Amino acid sequence: MRIPVKQYGLILNSRPAGREAALAMKAAAKPSSGETVELDFEGVVSVGPSWLDEVLTALRADYGRERVRCLPTTNPSVIESLKVIDPAP
């Protein structure tokens, strides 16, 4: 299941906005058992670590870490935010 993140805004940068987006995503997303939840950042201008942390934490709590992933992107703010909140092992 793919979630186009730009529907939550083009500049995503606060924890409260991230919590709100996560609640909306969980209300709308009904992935089947085992289906991967993919966050698509196409068209998003900027994403802050706080916003992304709120979204990933909430989605992973419901669907599991292995089922929630961010699609590959060239957006530097997504790349750098992921480095901050979800560093590679």
Straight-line distance from the first to the last Cα atom of the chain, in angstroms, rounded to the nearest whole number: 26
Q: What integer pLDDT is reported at residue 88 of this predicted model?
A: 63
pLDDT in tens, 13-68: 999 999 999 999 999 988 888 899 999 999 999 999 999 999 999 999 999 999 99
Classify residue 20 as left (phi > 0), alpha (psi -120 to 50) or beta: alpha
Calculate the CA 43 to chain-centre distance: 14
Would you kindly state where each structural domain of the chain is located, as residue ranges? 2-85
